[in-house]
Structure 1
Amino acid sequence: MQNQIVLITGASSGIGKACAEVFAEAGAKLILAARRRDRLDTLAAELQKNYQAEVLCLELDVCDRAQVETTLSKLPNPWQNIAVLINNAGLSRGLNKLQDGSIQDWEEMIDTNVKGLLYVTRTVLPGMVERQQGHVINIGSIAGHQTYPNGNVYCATKAAVRALTEGLKLDLVGTPIRVSTVDPGLVETEFSDVRFRGDRDRAKTVYQGLTPLTGRDIADVVLFCATRPPHVNLNEIILMPTDQASATLVHRRPSV
């Protein structure tokens, strides 16, 4: 990955931040995109200090198609040849039966998890095809494989990510562009805080009594995908904590 340009969306926290750290350690040049510019600047300073990484920060809302197209099409010349795109930006809102769901929550999930991924990929991918080099890595979820109660729309968006990844791989046959999806189970990040809109007590119960994955666990797998030999494409990786067997079955140890 030395001096390869890696674009990470949703880079200000969680899996995206962890990906920034492992790719910086591997010698990549990083384009970090997220809505929270202050967090990006703090992260960039840490990466420059710890790994002497070259970092370009972009304040970007992937849901805004015009902003995505304008920002990514006007990258400075030294940053235009993106080698790896990590579509990490995503979220979940609420945990309700569909008949009780919030349409605003649905739209936010669809706009971010599906349309945002499409906007960024559509803008970056033609350059990869033209240069005949690149790798698109989507961060999916076990929710894209197994629907769970009250997860209806979130699960649907992650199933869409899975289908889009498969479709992209089909469309790119005959090119050297690689396409992967990394689909985790329970990962302790800000995910549940966002889902429950800052209700941290409720968010903590999601991981209570078990040892969840960390953002670093996922980032290590993403880096592994990106550093295989050019003829090797890891299409799909599902990883879960040892305490988790499916989207709905987990082992929780009693609290002492």
Structure 2
Amino acid sequence: MAEFDTIRGTATASAAHIDVGLRAHMNKVYGNMSVGMLITFAAAWALSGLAVTSDPSGAVAQIGADKYLTSLGHTLYASPLKWVLMFAPLAMVFGFGAAINRLSAAGAQLFFFVFAALMGASISSIFLVFTGESIIHTFLITAIAFAGLSLYGYTTKKNLSGLGTFLMMGLIGLIVASIVNIFLQSSAMAFAISAIGVLIFAALTAYDTQKIKNDYIAHAQHGDSEWLGKAAIMGALTLYLDFINLFMFLLQFLGNRE
């Protein structure tokens, strides 16, 4: 009986330790994600401010009734460099996945923050296309939806792992369709891509949150602090991408164009 009580006490203590560690791990995931979001917004805002002016003096191209591209703006948004700016974040994501095992936790965090800045530069053109009010409005809606979906993924007892393969296939198809539509410029196809994109990244938010939680529980007992540190950065990157993509697709529906 005493031996049983000892085993039960040990199991309870271990579960409590994992629970405390899980909360700390998720706080680190969301904390790094939030810093990444701030870096992205700062980079996007800074670049849009430098590239666009209402004063035609020194401008090289007009893009609206009272908006003009400076030489820097023309280089970023109207030259072949725009393709580099557009696809560089995607290349960095694949590079991060390949290099994560060789990076330290600090190195992975630095990589993530550099990626967030580059993503900000890549999406800075939204300030040229949509009104600032609609961007803020869409961001707030995205934040509320993301919080609800992530909370569901964290608390639900339902196993969402079965969605993984389906969502990855849908994501690959979405990327291919988006690249094709860059050249086709089909408004109907763009609408369909945006609608499907919202559904996929809404589901991915819940799925990825649960996966981050389950991965921690599976590895916490090993006490590998280096792995846990890098796992928190990878989790932050995953949820960051879910948020950014959900925001960008919702913006196509909710954003008011200039």
TM-score range, shorter chain: under 0.3
TM-score, normalised to structure 1's length?
A: 0.25
**Structure with the greater alpha carbon radius of gyration:** 2
Name the structure with the higher helix share. 2
Ranked by relative contact order (alpha carbons within 8 Å, sequence separation 6 or more), the top structure is 2
